[in-house]
Amino acid sequence: MYIPPHFQEIDPHEIRAVIETAPLACVVAQTTEGLVANHIPMLSAPDGTLIGHVALANDMHRLVADGQEVLAIFRAADAYVSPNFYPSKPEHHRHVPTWNYQVVHVYGTIAFRHDEQAKRAVVGLLTRTHERRLNGAGAWRMADAPADYMTQMLGSIVAFRIEVTRVLAKSKLSQNREERDYSGAVAGIRASGHEDVASAMERRLRK
């Protein structure tokens, strides 16, 4: 990934926030059939690995060998930036359109697990995390489903863990603009309906 120094994201809290708020990662791997990409909800486990699961019918776990390097791409909100957002535009017109976004690339080695214990652990952690965020005390639990049905569902997936080897992160949020144009970009992006990007830009002002 091309990362100019002024767009490189090194704040671990910001990197973690991207992974947590944009958990549907694109997992890319090289195989004998060429590059494959799958869109998979994942999260960071307490031990620092990334965890998730794929359908048993998905050839990913047959095409990608245990221990092979994969790339997981987490992309947060993005927004078009119009030159009209910049107060300095009428003065010299030396602006062109661009795009603001945050993205995290996580590289690591993958290992698939077919045993029920591993699959229960992965599904349990994923559902507990997302259900509590969405439904609070009314969160759905695996125990809510009939035991035989849950066993059947677990039999149709394959769990995996990715041991992280390196992380590259980019926050392209108009850091290369002068203060008045930066503020203008925040206002313009918010007015265009991209509150998440505008808020991410404002967080940088408070650092």
Q: What residue ranges do the domains of the chain occupy? A: 5-116+158-184
Q: What's the confidence (pLDDT) of residue 9?
A: 96
Q: Is 161 exposed, middle or buried (0-12, 13-18, 19+ CB in 10 A)?
A: buried
Both tokens assigned to 204: 């940088």
CB within 8 Å of 164: residues ≥ 6 apart:
48, 49, 50, 106, 107, 108
- In the chain, DSSP assigns E strands to 24-31, 34-41, 43-44, 50-55, 69-81, 98-113, 157-172
Question: Which tens digit of pLDDT belongs to each residue from 57-84?
Answer: 999 999 999 999 999 999 999 999 999 9
Question: Which tens digit of pLDDT belongs to each residue from 90-110?
Answer: 989 999 999 999 999 999 999
How far is C-alpha 27 from the geometric centre of its chain's CA atoms?
Answer: 10
The CA distances from residue 166 to 48, 70, 105, 106, 163, in Å, are 12, 11, 8, 6, 9
Q: What's the confidence (pLDDT) of residue 207?
A: 64
Going 176 to 177 to 178 to 183, the CA torsion angle's sign is: negative
Residues 173-191 as b/e (b if ≥16 CB within 10 A, e otherwise) read bbeebeeebbbbbbebbbe
Q: What's the confidence (pLDDT) of residue 118?
A: 96
Split the chain (207 residues) into runs of 10 and give each run's mean pLDDT: 96 95 97 96 94 98 97 97 96 94 98 96 94 94 94 97 98 95 97 96 82
- Rg (C-alpha) for the chain, rounded Å, is 20
Percent of the chain exceeding pLDDT 70 equals: 99
Q: What's the confidence (pLDDT) of residue 204?
A: 83
Confidence (pTM): 0.93
Both tokens assigned to 27: 């997992």
Q: What's the confidence (pLDDT) of residue 205?
A: 78
The domain over range 5-116+158-184 is classified in CATH as 2.30.110.10: yes
The string of DSSP codes covering 79-139 is EEE-GGG-TTHHHH-----EEEEEEEEEEEEEEEE-SHHHHHHHHHHHHHHHHHHHHGGG-
